[in-house]
Chains A and B, each alone.
Chain A
Amino acid sequence: MKNRLRVLRAEHSLSQADLANRLGIARQTANALETGKYAPSLPLAFKIAKLFDRPIEAIFEPESEDR
């Protein structure tokens, strides 16, 4: 799962620790999300979308559109 978390975090001047605190997750989890090593659950994805005031699809994108 590709994402724009790093860009959005920079735009909002947030450190990874700040992002983790706001989402109620560990900093390692924020890092794993940002690097695409972990795809968030739907509730966490909604939380991230709400934090950055963007729709989920503007933040997360599947690796391929294969169906």
Chain B
Amino acid sequence: MSLIAYFMSMINDTTDPQPPASFARRYYIELGSAMAAYGVVLIASVSLLQRHPDPHWVAPIAIAPAIPACFALLAILRHLQRLDELHQRIMLDACAFAAGSVAIITFAYGFLEDNAGYPHVSLIFVLPLTALMFGLAAALAARRYA
């Protein structure tokens, strides 16, 4: 519970909106640190799993890279809180498009997998697909106001 409270306090950054230049650096540091930690934990996780650890440890080791990924998510959420209202609007539009399009794509592929014999695709591809859709939608949404 205290971990959840800590995460919530990190998200609820009540800093007043500032000019973008003053907080962009903070965002890159937070996100860069989280991604660097992710890279280190991922390499450690894969190398440990290749050594066939005790079965009780397989799941915790396999899921370990998700922990620094959570910090990357927090960095993104904190950055969104600091954006001005137009950029928050653009991000909201992009989030809605990404969530909706990924939901429909995975739903449709589920039918193909179950009923048309298409090969099984790992759930690990949902995150990169969401990021791709979010990026495309954010670029398109930003063009509307350029």
Contact = CB atoms under 8 A, between A and B. Distances in A.
B87 A26 contact: yes
Contacts of A28: 86-87, 142, 145-146
- Interface size band for A: 10 to 19
Contacts of B20: 26
B16 A24 contact: yes
A28 B145 CA distance: 8
B113 interface: no
Contacts of B13: none
A32 interface: yes
Interface in A7-62: 20-21, 24-26, 28-29, 31-33, 37-38, 40-41, 44
- Interface size band for B: 10 to 19
B87 to A, nearest CB: 6
Contacts of B146: 28, 31-32
B19 A24 contact: yes
B85 A21 contact: no
A25 B17 contact: yes
A26 B84 contact: yes
B86 A24 contact: no
A43 B144 CA distance: 23
Given A37-B144, A37-B145, A38-B145, A32 B19 contact: no
Interface of B: 16-20, 83-87, 89, 142, 144-146
